DNA sequence: GCCGTTTTCGGCCCGACTGTTTTCAGTCG
């Protein structure tokens, strides 16, 4: 039997990029649109949260946005046969040694091919090393189209690539926000800076960030750029022009700065916030209406093939000028928002101020838990809740360790905790405490506590904390079994992913969604920076299916309760409205939901 | 190769910056 090794999404995306690169090398003009199509397909597959082989098996390849029928057929062939004849014929004639170079920033197909050809480099295994050596010997500078400077740039690019400086470990959102805040505060100290904003994926609040993009409103871009490139944490200047500049800061992260005068600041924000797909779609739509969009403003087609430019200081008036309502940055991903903005039917997304409580909190109550205990008292967390303007809280420490206690001991601990919570509810009026617990779903699908103990609680949050590698069918059964307990109302961090650490467990979410919908169960949007789970794309599915969600912080200390805003951004990216989110309800409404069978 | 609010055919976003050039090619977002 032949063991079939399936390609991962990243490998497939790389293959498609190689196809695009081959087209570029062979005849960029002739294949211009094929190149775009293959690059779009590669992007789409890279961003897919499901492995292609799973999509294929489940007959869901059509869910890949931006991949058309032709490439989809090739992908099906690839997954079935392990190769695609059409791809092979495109790749034929382009030396394999070109492709490794494309992973190095500043190397594109043309440059790589030129060097390969000039030095007759055939070996893809050694090509990077070969070019490095040739650059060191000064041979590259002699090639037509290259010079001493570009030779130096090549050497540096290879060096940085080799030490993994630009290895794309993306920043988790809160880390990126922290970095951005520092540079924003620095920029605001310049008297030439009128206004500063984030741009790009950071402004869209994507859960992981590559580069930090910053917009500055100024009448003196030259001075602002000089000021920017003297940022104390700067390691080196990547580029510097009349209106934009880029620097690398410690940790190898790149910060890009774009400037416009205040009268065009809205245009700048608009031009550089959307995802590539959003931008392309919007600009194409506008073009058909006779508008050309850029960071300078809107060019309007007037008579005799002439254009008239209008600036926009506000982003809202920019959108309005082409007949759209303003689109919140979080949903500028080209997933239907442009069409709805045209018809002025965008949903009103949930906001931080809509949140009235947080139901996933770990205090330091000595519950002798199976997992980590919180570090702050009930009182400290209540005080924090007051600060945040909340009306209720749910304490939900992990259940007492099952292996270290008898069921009777566990009952006893819970009884003591109940007393404390009852006392608190008697002593304070402004905030109501809901008596919850985060209970493990054991490998067999049972909850970690018996019914007698569970009866002492208002409800429980259930979650997986062991046996992550279970197969899909078993894991799905396990979760549904746990959720089916009448006291189980919320599934915490439903996919179990940890950003940059581990993928989620293998679960059939269609079944989870159906079950929640039919049985009045809620899915958590966990705001913890490394979780952000449910992920935004699945929030969108849940919203479309009418499943209720709750945004919790999973705080283990009081200050972490401010992480709520990250959960909000995930919910907004998933198009969640106030009535999709349970902790926007008043206390009585929420209790009614909890008690509803 | 993709795609549909004037289209199933005929279009396809917009600009910055660098280095090697004297007007542009290549890369990037």
3-state class (DSSP) for residue A521: coil
Measured from the Cβ of residue A515, the count of other Cβ atoms closer than 10 Å reads: 17
**Cα distance between residue A524 and residue A570, in whole Å:** 11
Average pLDDT of the residues in A302-324: 89
**Residue A75, CA atoms < 13 Å, CB-side half-sphere:** 30
Strand duo A392-395 + A357-361: pairing: parallel
In terms of DSSP H, where are the helices of A232-314?
A: 265-271, 276-288
Quote the pLDDT of residue A1: 47
Per-residue tokens: A466: 């062991």
| C1' of B22 to CA of A145 (Å) | 14
User: Quick one: which residue's CA is nearest to B6's C1'?
Assistant: A288
**Residue A9, CA atoms < 13 Å, CB-side half-sphere:** 17
A207 confidence band (pLDDT: 50, 70, 90): very high
3-state class (DSSP) for residue A57: helix
Per-residue tokens: A395: 């304490």
**Cα distance between residue A3 and residue A248, in whole Å:** 45
3-state class (DSSP) for residue A29: coil
DSSP letters for A393-426: EEE-PBPBPTTTS-HHHHHHHHHHHHHHHHHHHH
Per-residue tokens: A242: 């009349």
**Cα distance between residue A380 and residue A367, in whole Å:** 17
3-state class (DSSP) for residue A69: helix
Q: How far is CA A162 from the centre of its chain?
A: 27
Nucleic strand B near CB of residue A336 (< 7 Å): no
User: Quick one: which residue's CA is nearest to B12's C1'?
Assistant: A33
Q: Order across the sheet with A357-361: list the strands.
A: A357-361, A392-395, A432-435
CB A528 within 8 A of CB A563: yes
Average pLDDT of the residues in A580-596: 97
Say yes or no to pLDDT of A168 above 70. Answer: no
Say yes or no to pLDDT of A193 above 60. Answer: yes
**What is the tens place of the pLDDT at every residue in A440-490?**
999 999 999 999 999 999 999 999 999 998 999 999 999 999 999 999 999
Q: State the average pLDDT for chain A.
A: 94
Quote the pLDDT of residue A302: 78
The pLDDT > 90 percentage for chain A reads 88
The single residue listed with the structure tokens 């709750």 is A550
The CA-based diameter of chain A, rounded to the nearest angstrom, is: 88
Average pLDDT of the residues in A115-119: 95
Nucleic strand B near CB of residue A181 (< 7 Å): no
Average pLDDT of the residues in A75-84: 92
The single residue listed with the structure tokens 């991949």 is A67
Quote the pLDDT of residue A282: 95
Within 7 A of a protein CB, which nucleotides of strand B? Answer: 1-3, 5-7, 11-21, 25-29
Nucleic strand B near CB of residue A241 (< 7 Å): yes
Which residues share a beta bridge with A301?
A307
Q: Which of A329, A207, A188, A224 is nearest to A271 (CA)?
A: A329
**Cα distance between residue A11 and residue A51, in whole Å:** 11
Quote the pLDDT of residue A45: 93
Say yes or no to pLDDT of A542 above 70. Answer: yes
**Cα distance between residue A441 and residue A448, in whole Å:** 6
- Considering only residues 126-145 of protein chain A, which place a Cβ less than 7 A from any atom of strand B? 141, 144-145
Average pLDDT of the residues in A319-333: 95
Say yes or no to pLDDT of A305 above 80. Answer: no
**Cα distance between residue A165 and residue A159, in whole Å:** 9
- Considering only residues 256-285 of protein chain A, which place a Cβ less than 7 A from any atom of strand B? 256, 276, 279-280, 283-284
Q: How far is CA A96 from the centre of its chain?
A: 33
Nucleic strand B near CB of residue A507 (< 7 Å): no
The single residue listed with the structure tokens 């002593």 is A427
Positive/negative CA dihedral, A495, A496, A500, A502: negative
Q: Which nucleotide is nearest to A157 (CA to C1')?
A: B27
Average pLDDT of the residues in A499-522: 94
Strand duo A171-172 + A208-209: pairing: antiparallel
**What is the tens place of the pLDDT at every residue in A14-33?**
999 999 999 999 999 999 99
**Cα distance between residue A99 and residue A107, in whole Å:** 10
Nucleic strand B near CB of residue A429 (< 7 Å): no
Say yes or no to pLDDT of A48 above 90. Answer: no
Average pLDDT of the residues in A105-133: 95
Average pLDDT of the residues in A227-240: 95
Say yes or no to pLDDT of A555 above 90. Answer: yes
Per-residue tokens: A249: 């800061």
User: Quick one: which residue's CA is nearest to B19's C1'?
Assistant: A150
| C1' of B22 to CA of A211 (Å) | 35
Nucleic strand B near CB of residue A215 (< 7 Å): no
CB A31 within 8 A of CB A24: yes
User: Quick one: which residue's CA is nearest to B15's C1'?
Assistant: A294
CB A492 within 8 A of CB A522: no
Tell me how long chain A is: 597
C-beta contacts of A415-420 below 8 A and 24+ residues apart: A415/A456, A417/A365, A417/A367, A418/A456, A420/A365, A420/A378
Cα A172–A174–A177 angle (5° rounding)?
Answer: 110
Interacting residues of A571 by C-beta distance below 8 A, sequence separation 6+: A349, A350, A525, A539, A549, A551, A580, A581
The single residue listed with the structure tokens 């303003």 is A326
| C1' of B14 to CA of A409 (Å) | 68
**What is the rounded (10 degree) CA torsion for A580, A584, A588, A590?**
50
| C1' of B1 to CA of A467 (Å) | 44
| C1' of B21 to CA of A142 (Å) | 15
User: Quick one: which residue's CA is nearest to B29's C1'?
Assistant: A276
The pLDDT > 70 percentage for chain A reads 98
User: Quick one: which residue's CA is nearest to B17's C1'?
Assistant: A241
Say yes or no to pLDDT of A354 above 60. Answer: yes
In terms of DSSP H, where are the helices of A28-147?
A: 32-47, 52-57, 69-81, 85-91, 98-101, 109-119, 127-136
In terms of DSSP H, where are the helices of A362-401?
A: 378-387
Quote the pLDDT of residue A165: 63
The single residue listed with the structure tokens 């951005």 is A180
DSSP state of A6: P
Average pLDDT of the residues in A542-570: 98
Interacting residues of A4 by C-beta distance below 8 A, sequence separation 6+: A82
| Better-scored residue on pLDDT, A305 or A44 | A44
Say yes or no to pLDDT of A37 above 80. Answer: yes
Q: Which nucleotide is nearest to A287 (CA to C1')?
A: B13
Average pLDDT of the residues in A258-264: 97
Average pLDDT of the residues in A494-514: 93
Per-residue tokens: A396: 């939900």
| C1' of B18 to CA of A469 (Å) | 49
**Cα distance between residue A596 and residue A573, in whole Å:** 29
């Amino acid at each position: 039997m032949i063991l079939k090794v399936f390609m991962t999404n990243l490998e497939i995306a790389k293959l498609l990029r190689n196809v695009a690169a081959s087209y570029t090398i062979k005849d960029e003009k002739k294949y211009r649109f094929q190149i775009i199509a293959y690059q779009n397909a590669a992007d789409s597959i890279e961003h897919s949260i499901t492995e292609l082989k799973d999509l294929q098996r489940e007959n869901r390849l059509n869910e890949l946005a931006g991949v058309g029928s032709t490439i989809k057929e090739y992908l099906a062939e690839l997954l079935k046969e392990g190769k695609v004849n059409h791809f092979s014929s495109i790749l034929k004639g382009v030396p394999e040694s070109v492709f490794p170079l494309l992973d190095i920033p500043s190397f594109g197909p043309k440059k790589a091919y030129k060097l390969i050809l000039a030095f007759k480099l055939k070996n893809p295994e050694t090509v990077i090393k070969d070019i490095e050596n040739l650059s060191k010997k000064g041979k590259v500078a002699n090639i037509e189209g290259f010079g001493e400077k570009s030779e130096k740039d090549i050497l540096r690019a290879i060096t940085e690539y080799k030490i993994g400086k630009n290895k794309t470990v993306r920043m988790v959102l809160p880390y990126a926000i922290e970095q951005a805040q520092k540079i924003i505060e620095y920029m605001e100290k310049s008297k030439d800076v009128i206004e500063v904003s984030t741009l790009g994926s950071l402004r869209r609040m994507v859960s992981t960030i590559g580069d930090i993009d910053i917009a500055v409103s100024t009448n003196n871009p030259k001075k602002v750029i000089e000021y920017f490139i003297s940022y104390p944490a700067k390691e080196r200047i990547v580029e510097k022009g009349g209106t934009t500049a880029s620097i690398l800061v410690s940790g190898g992260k790149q910060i890009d700065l774009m400037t416009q005068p205040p009268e065009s600041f809205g245009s700048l924000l608009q031009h550089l916030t959307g995802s590539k797909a959003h931008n392309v779609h919007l600009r194409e739509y506008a073009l058909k209406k006779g508008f050309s969009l850029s960071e300078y403003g809107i060019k309007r087609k007037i008579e005799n093939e002439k254009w008239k430019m209008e600036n926009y200081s506000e982003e809202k008036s920019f959108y309005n000028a082409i007949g759209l309502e303003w689109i919140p940055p979080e949903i500028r991903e080209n997933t239907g928002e442009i069409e709805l903005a045209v018809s002025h039917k965008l949903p009103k997304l949930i906001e931080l101020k809509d949140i009235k409580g947080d139901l996933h909190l770990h205090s330091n109550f000595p519950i002798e838990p199976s997992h980590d205990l919180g570090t702050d008292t009930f009182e400290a967390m209540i005080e924090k809740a007051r600060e945040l303007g909340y009306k209720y809280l749910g304490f939900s420490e992990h259940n007492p360790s099952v292996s270290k206690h008898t069921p009777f001991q566990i009952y006893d601990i819970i009884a003591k905790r109940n007393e404390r919570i009852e006392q608190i509810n008697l002593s304070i009026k402004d905030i109501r405490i809901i008596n919850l617990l985060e209970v493990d779903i054991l490998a067999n699908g049972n909850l970690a506590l018996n019914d007698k103990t569970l009866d002492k609680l208002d409800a429980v949050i259930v979650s997986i904390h062991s046996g992550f590698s279970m197969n899909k069918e078993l894991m799905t059964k396990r979760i549904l079994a746990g959720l089916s307990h009448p006291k189980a109302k919320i599934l915490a961090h439903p996919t179990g992913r940890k950003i940059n650490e581990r993928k989620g467990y293998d679960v059939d979410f269609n079944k989870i969604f159906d079950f929640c919908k039919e049985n009045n169960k809620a899915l958590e949007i966990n705001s913890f920076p490394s979780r952000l789970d449910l992920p935004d794309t699945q929030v969108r599915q849940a919203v479309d299916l009418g499943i209720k969600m709750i945004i919790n912080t999973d705080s283990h200390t009081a200050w972490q309760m401010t992480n709520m805003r990250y959960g909000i951004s995930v919910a907004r990216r998933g198009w969640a409205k106030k009535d999709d989110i349970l902790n926007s309800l008043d206390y009585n409404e929420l209790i009614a939901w909890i008690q509803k069978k």
